[in-house]
Structure 1
Amino acid sequence: MSTDSRVPAPISRVAASEDLGRVSLVATDVDGTLTRGGKLDPAVLAAIRRLTAAGVVVLPVSGRPAGEVQGLVRYVPGVTRGLAENGLLEIVPDHAPRWLGRATDRARLRAAGERMNLEFAAGLRVTGDDYCRLGDVAFEREGRDEAELLRLRGHAEALGVHLVWSNVHVHLAEAVPDKGLALLQLLHKRGVDPEQVVTIGDAPNDAGLFTAGRFGLTVGTADVLAQLAYFPSPPRAVTTGGEADGFIELAELLLAARGG
């Protein structure tokens, strides 16, 4: 492993030097972190069940729309709430979504995407789950590499909107998406010490979860290593495995620290 300060330490090394038994909440990205090949992995669901049984809250923090996160928090065992649309909304079953960021003008965001298609050959295609969205506008990533995404980001900023991407979507928003800031708001509301929180993610839309000084421990799956240039602040630790394997690796370390 490089000694470059931007390269995260292996999670096993960090776990050996820190008390992970203090962790009371895991805030986790969904796509590319809880999934394998685009599907929720049964081993991940088992790990979540074990964490919650051990007293560790698991909180999904997703770029997915409010409607999809509503289903996720209703049906995943042990999960009772989540954050949707990169932190714009808190989702709790049987309650209306609660805005954490200010309400947005989706028509303006759609118009920006259409203009990018017309003037800059962006080729953006609105996601099929758009009808479930309340805040941002998302488009299918469809294999775009980072160079193309950076080109589109530049055009979006010139139009006064912000572009960020996950491993599946390209998002347009009125403010820079910040999952971490939304998470801090939720933690304050619920009286949870951020020092007792571990965050984990895999893509540039998770950058706010990695911001230094916000949370007790920030973790990237192995997938972040090829994307470090796109994180203003890299995670402090990195898992050996990518996608679901990374989350399971973190879960096993947290459970071991609790004697589970």
Structure 2
Amino acid sequence: MPSPRDEQIRDPRPLTELRPERLATLRVIATDVDGTLTRAGKLGSDLLEALAQLSAAGFRVIPISGRPAGEVMGLCRYLPGVSFGVAENGLLEIEPDHAPRWLGEVPDVERLRVVGEHMNQAHGAGLRLTGDAFCRLGDVAYERDGRDETELLRLRELAEAEGVHLIWSNVHVHLAAQRPDKGAGLLRLLNQRGIDPLSVVTVGDAPNDGGLFEADRFGLTVGTADVVAQRRWFSALPEFTTAEREVDGFLALSGWLCGRG
């Protein structure tokens, strides 16, 4: 489906054009999880090795996911080099052995569920709550179930008519009271922890990562190769993209960072 934005969109540059001096001040990697750290939906041993190498090189890794608080807590506890993260598309700060902390306004989850049910009953949306809904605190998410962008745009229009926002990742469809913005949530977390946003490289693959790519927020923004085919659905695009998809793109970036270009 063509978009009016198409002619105004400039494709991100290949990662191979990144100048080494851009890497010198980077100390933190804030990364999406599904489709960015995974391959065919799974975390692999090559990722764990890369995270260990990044940690040894002095990098801190912050997972920033659309997944629920409960799942991100597990990532923060067990992944090498990870001690805290952000869940539910920027809503919650997650740290093991601490209660989740809100980074955005506390939503009316019941109203979001009502909107989802109305979309199902009145418009045949076919929205199916995610299996991890039981460990979500402020986000209402549904399985993407293979929907293409044409159908997702239809659902977005229906949601907007109800006064709520709809965004999607490569696995889920999210309803939210405010426009989901991982980048805004990340900025609040960085401010609270005294971390310079210009020391952060953000990484993602899907439209719900658009907030991580907003200009002048972070030191460097990188998308996997998956961004290019979906570029017209992003609120903002990264400066650079890898030649590789999924976790292979993240691995390519981590090689650049560990080798400093």
Give the TM interval when normalised to the shorter protein. Answer: over 0.9
Task: Specify which of 153, 157, 175 is matched with residue 154 of structure 1.
Answer: 157
* Matched residue type, 1:49: A
Aligned identity (percent) is 61
Deviation, 1:22, is: 1.4
Counterpart in the other structure of 1:55: 58
Q: Which residue is equivalent to 1:237? A: 240
Q: What letter corresponds to residue 154 of structure 1 in structure 2? A: E
Unaligned runs of 5+ in 2: 1-7
Match of 2:126 in 1: 123
Structure 1 contact 19–257 (Cα < 8 Å) conserved: no
**What CA distance in whole angstroms lies between the structure 2 residues aligned with 1:12 and 1:78?**
26
Aligned residues: 255
Separation in 2 of the partners of 1:68 and 1:17? Answer: 35
1:97 aligns with 2:100: yes
Q: Helix, strand or coil for the counterpart of 2:230?
A: helix
Residue 104 of structure 1, CA deviation? 1.2
Which residue of 132, 136, 139 corresponds with 1:133?
136
List structure 1 runs of 4+ shifted beyond 6 angstroms.
none
1:11 to 8, 15, 18: 15
CA distance in 2, matches of 1:122, 1:114: 9
RMSD: 1.3
What one-letter code is carried by the residue in structure 1 that aligns with 2:68? P
Cα separation, 2, equivalents of 1:211 and 1:200: 12
How far apart, CA to CA, are the structure 1 residues paired with 2:221 and 2:10? 13
Match of 2:39 among 36, 39, 47: 36
C-alpha distance in 2, partners of 1:83/1:241? 25
Structure 1: gaps spanning 5 or more residues: none
Map Cα deviations across residues 133-168 of structure 1 (whole Å, 9 max, x no partner).
001100000000001000000000100111000000
How far the C-alpha of 1:21 sits from its partner, in A, is 2.5
Residue identity matched to 1:72? L
CA distance in 2 between partners of 1:248 and 1:119 (Å): 44
Is residue 6–residue 228 contact of structure 1 (8 Å, CA) maintained in 2? Answer: no
Give the equivalent residue in structure 1 for 2:146: 143
Which residues in structure 2 correspond to 1:104-253 (within 5 Å)? 104-253=107-256
Alignment partners' CA distance in 2, 1:116 and 1:41: 37
SS at match of 2:141: strand
TM-score scaled to structure 1, two decimals?
A: 0.96
Distance in 1 of aligned mates of 2:16 and 2:21 = 10
Partner Cα distance (1:118, 1:99) in 2: 32
The answer on whether the counterparts of 2:207 and 2:235 sit within 8 Å (CA) in structure 1 is no
